[in-house]
Structure 1
Amino acid sequence: MESETAPRRRLSVLDTLRGITLVSMILYHAAWDAVFIAGMEWEWYHGTGAFIWQQSICWTFIILSGFCLPLGRHPVRRGIEVFGAGLLVTAVTVIFMPENRVVFGVLTLLGSCMILTGLLNRLLRKVPSGVGLLGSILLFWLTRWVSDGMIGIKGIFFLPLPQLLYKGLGMTFLGFTEPGFMSTDYFPMLPWYFLFLAGYFVCRICQRMGFRGRWWTWNIPPFGWMGRHSLVIYLLHQPVLYLLTVAAEWIF
């Protein structure tokens, strides 16, 4: 097992990065509401630029979540809280916004990853961090297109997967998306768990190096505060944006 050092101070840069990403997410969802609820015409939002914007938010949250897991004391407990928040989002959207329902969204993913990694933590700590990082990246790219019925690396090779895997919500949760499944925010375990693990192993490497450098304490107070309260802000921001969108439609 590698020698890993816990940080002696709070790594406030993580809160700041999480807060900045939250602001980006809120702006993205405000644009989503304007386009899909208010009916605003914005061709750019349907193109590559908006897709890259959305992916940058998701990737950052998932990697940061994986990075923070070795630093926390109760990852399974925290995972249950986040998973429960994901179930709440699913319940609210299914009841009140069924046409825009969220099933197996990013909170469900992050909670599941925290629980699974927390349970496997002792085993994962026996894996050399560099090997774990490279393996996680490779597995992420190999499983990137599982929901489309294939495994492999785009532009190099693809292998079709048996269609019998693509049945039921349980398999859809894993990444084998059943026909007809609909969710406005869908993040299955495959391939995203491996991106989470990449963040986990990057943290392990940083622990081994002792978190050297002053930049780990970099802090922008408003963003840092948001980063420390990210779950509450995540749960509240979309209802607030929805009400603002409806109010704007009514006024204008």
Structure 2
Amino acid sequence: MSRRRRRRRGDPGAPAGAAHAAAPPRFAAIDGLRGFAICLMLVYHFAFDLAWFRVIRADFNNDAFWLGFRGVIVTLFVALVGVSLVLARHASRRDFWRRFALIAACAALVSVASYVTFPQTFITFGILHCIAVSSVLARPLVDFPRIALLAGIAIVALGNTVHLPLFDSPWLNWVGMMTHKPATEDYVPLFPWLGVVLAGIAVGHWVLSQGRRAILATGSVVPRWLTWTGRHSLVIYMVHQPVLVGILRVVT
């Protein structure tokens, strides 16, 4: 009898229509990069909270340093969404929609919590909202990296150059291309950030090709605590602000 070769769990070569789709492979470098983004976010929000408690003075809406700092954080997060879509492209639809539902639920919780804390500037379309919607919109292009890259460049260009009064409406500001930034504590519209997700798809394919996959798989270079942080990024995102605010309420 011939022995069938058993496909390893997490093998990205698994067929998309497999009855039990493989779990997406983990790469230490990707988890570490996501963990690095989480660390930057913690620094940013800690500084924001210090300013909120009037311990320091900082203008997060106009200061070039803080605007650039935030831009780096958001870029890392949303680009890694595109990379992760490539890594998980052979996972089952059920797994995809389960993950989407989790992120969407967390986004809704953030909106509710921010409304309680900042009723005049609560979050209507922040980073989690953008990740949830962009994941759905970008998924059809996950196997077409060149098209994804071209579409991504176009969306980034439009998002940064086209500003129309039509999108100033509170019901449409999630699209982007507004003439002014809405009054909200976190704003990550689809234009231009969906474009960064699509560019991340192209990066994901580039990384997995031409032997680069072995480099990403090694965990010897990336500290274990950083990969752990990246693998638990959603949990950390959801709990870090209550923890930081709670600590500052006690010590200030």
Is 1:86–2:88 an aligned residue pair? no
SS of 2:166's equivalent? helix
| Aligned counterpart, 1:182 | 183
The within-5 A match list for 1:108-147 is 108-118=129-139, 120-121=140-141, 125=143, 127=144, 129-146=145-162
TM, length-normalised to structure 2: 0.78
> 1-side partners of 2:52 and 2:79: how far apart?
28
Is the CA contact 1:168–1:178 (under 8 Å) kept in the aligned structure 2?
Answer: no
Is the CA contact 1:80–1:115 (under 8 Å) kept in the aligned structure 2?
Answer: no
| Aligned counterpart, 1:25 | 41
TM, length-normalised to structure 1: 0.78
| Aligned counterpart, 2:12 | 6
The within-5 A match list for 1:156-175 is 161=164, 163-169=165-171, 171-175=172-176
| Aligned counterpart, 1:50 | 66
Question: 2:202 is matched by which residue type in structure 1?
Answer: F
SS of 1:183's equivalent? coil
> 2-side partners of 1:102 and 1:224: how far apart?
29
> 2-side partners of 1:45 and 1:100: how far apart?
13
Is the CA contact 1:77–1:115 (under 8 Å) kept in the aligned structure 2?
Answer: no
Shift of 1:45: 9.2
Is the CA contact 1:62–1:110 (under 8 Å) kept in the aligned structure 2?
Answer: yes
Is 1:238–2:244 an aligned residue pair? no
Please say which of residues 59-68 and 37-46 is displaced more in the overlay. Answer: 37-46
- After superposition, the CA RMSD in angstroms is 2.7
Q: Percent identity among equivalent residues?
A: 26
Shift of 1:210: 4.8
Determine which structure has the larger helix proportion and give its number. Answer: 1
Please say which of residues 85-94 and 136-145 is displaced more in the overlay. Answer: 136-145
Larger RCO (CA under 8 A, 6+ residues apart): 1
| Aligned counterpart, 2:122 | 101
Is the CA contact 2:103–2:128 (under 8 Å) kept in the aligned structure 1?
Answer: yes
> 1-side partners of 2:193 and 2:131: how far apart?
9
> 1-side partners of 2:59 and 2:156: how far apart?
31
Is the CA contact 2:35–2:227 (under 8 Å) kept in the aligned structure 1?
Answer: yes
Shift of 1:216: 3.6
